[in-house]
Amino acid sequence: MAHNRRVWYFVVDHKGTPYKGLVADTVKISSESIVVDFRDAVHAKNSSILQGIVPAQLIVFTNKDAFDAKDPSPLDEESRIGEFGSSKKEALYVVIVREDSGIEPEPVKLEKLNFKLDQMTTNDPQLGEYFEVCGLDVAGLNEEPGNSCMLYCRQDTIDLIKALDDMKRGIRINGPPGVGKSTTSWYWMCRQVKKNAKSILWIHVAKRFTPRIVQLTPSGTYLFPPTVFPASVACTFVARSNMDIVVIDGVTDALEHRELEQAVFCFETKSHRQAVSIASMSIKSSTPDEDFYHISKFTALPWSLD
**Residue ranges covered by each domain of the chain:** 4-96, 111-299
Is there a shared CATH topology between the 4-96 domain and the 111-299 domain?
no
One-letter amino acid for residue 252 of the chain: T
CA distance 96 to 16: 10
Of residues 209 and 12, more confidence is placed in: 12
- Topology of domain 4-96 in CATH is Ubiquitin-like (UB roll) (3.10.20)
As a whole-number percent, the residues of the chain with pLDDT over 90 amount to 43
Angle between helices 231-239 and 255-264 (to 10 degrees): 20
Asked which of 71-75, 207-211, 218-222 is least confident by mean pLDDT, the reply is 207-211
One-letter amino acid for residue 134 of the chain: C
As a whole-number percent, the residues of the chain with pLDDT over 70 amount to 83
CB 29 within 8 A of CB 44: no
What is the DSSP code (8-state) at residue 80? B
* Segment 88-104, tens digit of pLDDT: 999 999 998 754 444 44
CA distance 21 to 148: 54
Count of Cβ atoms closer than 10 Å to residue 306 Cβ: 5
Average pLDDT, the chain: 84
CA distance 135 to 146: 6
Count of Cβ atoms closer than 10 Å to residue 129 Cβ: 10
Of residues 279 and 78, more confidence is placed in: 279
CA distance 152 to 147: 17
> What confidence score (pLDDT) does residue 285 get?
63
Count of Cβ atoms closer than 10 Å to residue 69 Cβ: 10
CA distance 213 to 243: 12
Sheet holding 200-204, edge to edge: 111-112, 220-223, 212-217, 200-204, 245-251, 274-280, 170-175, 295-299
- pLDDT of 224 higher than 80: yes
Chain length of the chain: 306
Instruction: Note the CATH number of domain 111-299.
Output: 3.40.50
Range 129-152 average pLDDT:
87
What is the DSSP code (8-state) at residue 55? G
> What confidence score (pLDDT) does residue 306 get?
54
Encode burial over 132-142: b for 16+ CB neighbours within 10 A, e otherwise: ebbbbbbbbbe
CA distance 129 to 151: 8
Most confident segment among 23-32, 151-160, 217-226, 232-241:
151-160
What is the DSSP code (8-state) at residue 300? P
Longest dimension (CA), the chain: 69
CA distance 269 to 249: 22
